[in-house]
A and B are shown apart, each in its own frame.
Chain A
Amino acid sequence: TQLLEQSPQFLSIQEGENLTVYCNSSSVFSSLQWYRQEPGEGPVLLVTVVTGGEVKKLKRLTFQFGDARKDSSLHITAAQPGDTGLYLCAGGQGSNYKLTFGKGTLLTVNP
């Protein structure tokens, strides 16, 4: 069974602070996706990374895929209350359409 471990499980910070959350596995994935889920809604895709060492930026969010394609990180600069939500990573395997999800990091940004 492929597992994705996310850390920390919970994170509560003040507006304006920076943070990094992690997604780690012992398995290699061909792609890694990050989703954000708000209360009462389904997850929404933020980014997909596919190349080892790849870095993608989405405004204040920076995503990195590990060189060995076993881990990923999400860094948020100057967090805002609107960033509050559950951040999920999901690993994909080549021609397999299934995604393996981590349990998520629940982020709260206090004004």
Chain B
Amino acid sequence: DAGVIQSPRHEVTEMGQEVTLRCKPISGHDYLFWYRQTMMRGLELLIYFNNNVPIDDSGMPEDRFSAKMPNASFSTLKIQPSEPRDSAVYFCASRRAGGLSSYNEQFFGPGTRLTVL
């Protein structure tokens, strides 16, 4: 299996521009998570999906952020308009359902490093 795939790996944009990050989870995984990592705040959960349905978006910082999962093999995280404080590494992770829910391993992608100038 190729693992979780994210694109682009690096994105540099100017303040006010729209940014779209993409994720392909591991085939057969029912859960998909979007995280943001910064030095100051560490790894923060933004939103997660189960069977393509958003379950908890309480970590989404504000209305400028939106996420979709149109099918089991693709998800996007969009920032519109982007701001310099959005600069961070964004990770997508996926995992299987079943078993004791919090025990199952989350598999992370390599991340997208976003820089907003």
A interface residues (Cβ-Cβ under 8 A, vs B):
30-31, 33, 40-45, 48, 50, 88, 92-99, 101-104
Contact = CB atoms under 8 A, between A and B. Distances in A.
Given A30-B100, A97-B95, A102-B42, 15 more contacts: A30-B102, A41-B110, A42-B93, A42-B108, A43-B43, A43-B108, A88-B42, A88-B43, A97-B31, A97-B48, A97-B55, A97-B101, A98-B48, A101-B44, A104-B42
A44 B108 contact: yes
Interface in B22-76: 31, 35, 41-45, 48, 50, 55-56
A13 B55 CA distance: 42
Contacts of A93: 102
A103 B44 CA distance: 9
Interface string B82-106: 0000000001010100001111011
B4 interface: yes
B31 A92 contact: no
A93 B102 CA distance: 6
B101 A94 contact: yes
Contact of B103 (A44, A92, A98, A103): A92
B105 A45 contact: yes
18 contacts: A30-B100, A31-B102, A31-B103, A40-B110, A42-B108, A42-B109, A42-B111, A43-B108, A88-B43, A92-B102, A96-B101, A97-B31, A97-B95, A98-B45, A98-B56, A99-B45, A101-B35, A101-B44
Contacts, number: 64
Contacts of B102: 30-31, 92-97, 99
A102 B45 CA distance: 12
A95 B101 contact: yes
Contacts of B109: 42
A42 B101 contact: no
Given A31-B102, A94-B101, A98-B56, A41 B111 contact: yes
A92 B105 CA distance: 11
